[in-house]
Amino acid sequence: MKVDVLLGLQWGDEGKGKVVDYLASKYKVVARFQGGPNAGHTLEFDNIKHVLHQIPSGIFRDDIKNIVGNGVVLDPVIFKKEIEDLKKLGIEATKNLFVSKKTQLILPTHRLLDAHQEKLKGNSKIGSTLKGIGPTYQDKIGRQGLRVGDTLMSDFSERYEKLKSKHIAELDEEGRNQLKELEPAFIEAINYLKTLNLVDGEYFINAELEDGSNVLAEGAQGSLLDVDFGSYPFVTSSNTMVAGACSGLGVAPSKIGEVMGVFKAYCTRVGSGPFPTELFDETGERLRKEGHEFGATTGRPRRCGWLDLPALKYAVMINGVTQLFMMKADVLMSFDKVNVCTGYRLSDGTTTNKLPYDLVNESVEPIYTELPGWNDSMPASGKYEDLSENLQSYIKFIETEVGVPISIVSMGPDRSQTLIR
């Protein structure tokens, strides 16, 4: 069997959690392959809203195995709390939850270093979620990180102390004081982590494929936050693109099946960095209000703007997307006209439909095509054909421009508000 990969094509928060939950019943395994608690994936069904940060979004289905892959950075304190919160809802998450031993651990000092490094950046700060993502990946690449499997070794404490002391040397007095408060919960969470299903993730997942299980790989963040291809340096520290699923799970490229790209009918971004179609006027404010655009992890207001097709096409290209899912079409309801960016005018007066190398310093002015708005909510019939002509034309316009079919249109946050074509 194959690994189908579902990933965000914009700057994150496209609605990945909702679609993973929607599609999960077709899969035997759901796997996270990169990122960590910087992610906030929202699922809504039966009038309850859940936000998952580290646990894969298949956890609400009883018969699905959920695995945290080696490409993830795991905060054991947040992980333990997520499991406990699910327990309060009557969900025994630990039964179907597996963690690769090669997953990197986020230490309390990584979180403190994240805050410290952001402070030093001053005006050029990334707008990190402050979950310790950057410093943990730095230690992984620097070949000094601690992994989940290390917690089972007799010298784990010494290894922890050694890395901790390196971090402390970088922290200021405030950070060192905060560490004293954070450490007891970390030690407790490490002891808890050791009781969970810690596995050799690459063997686990390949054995599942061999046994005939299909796997859904759940991306976090989005392609424009990818450390190689995103709006560098305003990116996260992992490969959010399809290749990250191979290295973050230990599966060969030949095992990848469908690549499902999720995008909003408009654009949002949280944190700093370039955003060519950002709206600073009341239209942007209206998108934020109608779309409830506030971060699922940090609560920060999301920056909002029109759909950016050069950026979307770029994400489709680097990922080899085979199917598109368009989210939040209902949010544009009641806009008389909607704009779609089809190219950029650069500072030298030339135009392009490619993303410039340096989006940070190059001034790009979006070139818009105006399309008529719509007034649709989820059709009672549940049929795509019952959407208005204007919304269907918008969808067709994007498909023609991008060259990939849109196979799911999402018309609301609830699991049931989903149209399949």
Which of the residues are catalytic?
Answer: 13, 41
User: CB atoms < 10 A from the CB of 332, how many?
Assistant: 23
> Could you give the C-alpha distances from 115 to 18, 125, 133, 146, 237, in angstroms and in order?
30, 10, 11, 20, 15
Q: What DSSP assignment string belongs to 87-129?
A: HHTT--GGGGEEEETTPEEPPHHHHHHHHHHHHHHGGG-----
For ligand IMO, the binding residue among 56, 175, 248, 271 (CB under 6 A) is 271
Contact between 134 and Mg ion per CB under 5 A? no
**Cβ at position 386, least distance to ligand GDP in Å:** 16
Find where tokens 């209000």 sit. 289
Point out which span in 220-228, 247-255, 286-294, 359-367 binds ligand IMO (CB under 6 A).
Answer: 220-228
CA distance 347 to 208: 52
Q: Which is nearer to ligand GDP, 41 or 110 (CB)?
A: 41
Q: Which is nearer to ligand IMO, 41 or 80 (CB)?
A: 41
> Could you give the C-alpha distances from 74 to 60, 149, 295, 386, in angstroms and in order?
20, 12, 20, 44
**Cβ at position 133, least distance to ligand IMO in Å:** 4
CA distance 246 to 5: 10
134 binds, among ligand GDP, Mg ion, ligand IMO, none (CB under 5 to 8 A by kind): ligand IMO
Point out which span in 122-130, 209-217, 317-325, 400-408 binds ligand IMO (CB under 6 A).
Answer: 122-130
- Binding mask of the shown chain, residues 25 to 64, with x at each position contacting Mg ion by CB under 5 A: ---------------x------------------------
Find where tokens 């949002």 sit. 268
**Cβ at position 42, least distance to ligand GDP in Å:** 3
Contact between 413 and Mg ion per CB under 5 A? no
Q: Which residues bind ligand GDP (CB under 6 A)?
A: 8, 12-18, 40-42, 44, 292, 296, 327-328, 330-331, 410-413
Contact between 55 and ligand IMO per CB under 6 A? no
413 binds, among ligand IMO, Mg ion, ligand GDP, none (CB under 5 to 8 A by kind): ligand GDP
Amino acid at 108: P
408 neighbors 420 (Cβ within 8 angstroms):
yes
Strand order in the sheet with 29-32: 197-199, 97-100, 65-68, 29-32, 215-218, 3-8, 256-264, 323-327, 406-410, 418-420
For ligand IMO, the binding residue among 115, 125, 127, 346 (CB under 6 A) is 127
CA distance 32 to 167: 27
Point out which span in 10-18, 69-77, 81-89, 155-163 binds ligand IMO (CB under 6 A).
Answer: 10-18
15 binds, among Mg ion, ligand IMO, ligand GDP, none (CB under 5 to 8 A by kind): ligand GDP
* 3-state DSSP percent of the chain in helix, strand and coil, to 5: 40, 25, 40
Contact between 218 and Mg ion per CB under 5 A? no
CA distance 349 to 218: 40
Rule CB under 5 A: which residues touch Mg ion? 13, 40, 296
Rule CB under 6 A: which residues touch ligand IMO? 8, 11-13, 38-41, 126-129, 131, 133-134, 220-222, 225, 236-237, 270-271, 296
